[in-house]
Each structure stands twice: as C-alpha cells, then as structure tokens.
Amino acid sequence: RPLEQGGIQFDAVVSIEISDEVIMDRMSGRRVCESCGASYHLVAVPPQQADVCDSCGGKLVQRKDDAPETVKARLEVYHKETEPLKDFYAQRGLLKPVENQPSVEETSRAILHALGR
C-alpha cells in the first residue's frame, strides 16, 4: 500500500521458485578467500586445492551469512514476513512465478519469457 500511495505501481512481480533445500545447498557451499575476496563454491566452482584460494593461496572461509544456521534463520524470516506478499500480488494478477533454472542465463531467459519479452 505505501508504494501505491506514493504513486509507484508495478506491471509485474517475478517470484523465482526454488526449494529451501537448494538454497541451503547453494549458500552453505560458498567459500571466500580471506586475503583477496575470490569466491568459490564447493560443488559449482571448487578450488583446485581444498580450502586454498587458486588466485593468491589464501585461506578459504565460510562467511557467517552463509553458515547453515544463518541461512535457515533467514529462510524462516522470508516465509513468515516476505512470502505472504506473493498472495498480495497474485490477487492483483501481477505475480509471475518462474521456476529456478540450472544457470543464471537460463533463469534470466525464463524471467524474460514470463514477462512476455
């Protein structure tokens, strides 16, 4: 409502549908180099040597934001506070659910398709 009262309107709202389990796997598998900040994923983009940055040899660590207990808590907040907005936009005919795809490129194409582009 505050957005509408401020004159802001949406043509569509995209909801990327992805299971909590997939989110947990993706986020808890992320690692970052303490020294140079390079990013890795234990499954998708693993370092050549476990826990060692390919770029600078620094130590790879899991950020607190990516720890399983943190991700779980964030998902609980999402389900309680944010997910109900999907019904709000669906009732107005604006919600465009998009199934998560294996790659960013495929997900982007699915979003554009859902938006009629």
Q: What CATH number has the domain bearing residue 68?
A: 3.40.50.300
What are the angstrom distances between the C-alpha of 80 and each of 2, 14, 22, 83, 84? Answer: 20, 19, 19, 7, 7
Helix crossing, 20-28 with 68-77: angle to 10°?
140
SS3 9: coil
Q: Length of the chain in residues, anyone?
A: 117
Total domains in the chain come to 1
The DSSP bridge partners found for residue 67 are none
Residue range(s) defining the domain that contains residue 25 = 2-114
Average pLDDT, the chain: 93
Q: Is the pLDDT of residue 46 over 60?
A: yes
Lowest mean pLDDT among 5-9, 63-67, 69-73: 5-9
Q: Is the pLDDT of residue 102 over 80?
A: yes
